[in-house]
Amino acid sequence: MSDKLLEVKNYSVASTDDISILHNLNLTINKGETHILMGPNGAGKSTFGSSLLANPVYKTTSGSILFENEDITDLSTDKRAKKGIFLSFQSPVEVPGISLYSFLRAASKNTMNPLKGKIFRQKLNDTMKNLDLKHEYLERDLNVGFSGGERKKVEMLQLLMLSPKLAIMDETDSGLDVDAVNIMLRGITEFQQDNEKGLLIISHNMHILDKLKIDKVHILVKGHIVAEGGSELIDEINKTGFVRFETQEGGNNV
């Protein structure tokens, strides 16, 4: 069987008012791999992550998305999520009227491998302890009144409880203090232990990237992937920024 988890082929995306954003991208994530997507502000990184979950504010203008060798290009957000794709957000939204526990239980029941009650509760207890989250959060409305760090920890809790096949993490470490970043690292490292899963991290934070096992780095500039490689690209960006890459055109797509 193929180890390919996600395969994006000749993929272009525009906004609903026909402004082209991503251009002919090619990217493959195999099972057990962690990929990093980096680029200057406005490069299209968040658009790429959101479009993989079929955010309706974007539309695919060419190319395809294969997930476990199945073409999911035309599937809706809920159907892609059902197949095991998870997206974290830069700024997780508030959901008044829905407790964190109710959200997690309902979401878990809609995964491909839902956990039964006792097993679900035990995993929830263990995961919250690992993330330094108090149980009182379970009764609070999802993200309502939560600090930025609390929202990110709750999102990490969702990731570990739902256990998707592919996790896309969009600036999940943004705005966090050192302690919160370390908790995020703990959760990400736990997720990486499963060699059947894949991870795509969209990030600027060199601190968090320096501490993770990374298989491939992609540099996105003006909607094009202009360079790919290993951790040496992160080291270069840490020293000189994106100057060299901003002068390149096309990358792996021309």
pLDDT at 249: 62
CA angle 125, 163, 55 (to 5 degrees): 125
pLDDT of residue 93: 79
Give the Cα separation of 88 and 154 in Å (integer): 10
pLDDT of residue 254: 37
User: Which residues in the chain land under pLDDT 50?
Assistant: 1, 253-254
pLDDT tens-digit series, residues 121-157? 999 999 999 888 899 999 999 988 888 788 888 889 9
Structure tokens at 149: 């760090």
Place of tokens 């073409």: 71
What's the confidence (pLDDT) of residue 105? Answer: 94
Answer whether CATH 3.40.50.970 is correct for domain 4-253.
no
- Give the integer Cα–Cα distance in Å for 129 and 188: 15
| Domain spans in the chain, listed from the N-terminal domain onward | 4-253
Q: What local confidence, expressed as pLDDT, does residue 132 receive? A: 87
> Is 38 in contact with 234 (CB distance < 8 Å)?
yes
pLDDT at 1: 46
Question: Which pLDDT does position 2 carry in this prediction?
Answer: 63
Neighbours of 205 (CB within 10 A): 16
Distance CA 77, CA 79 (A): 6
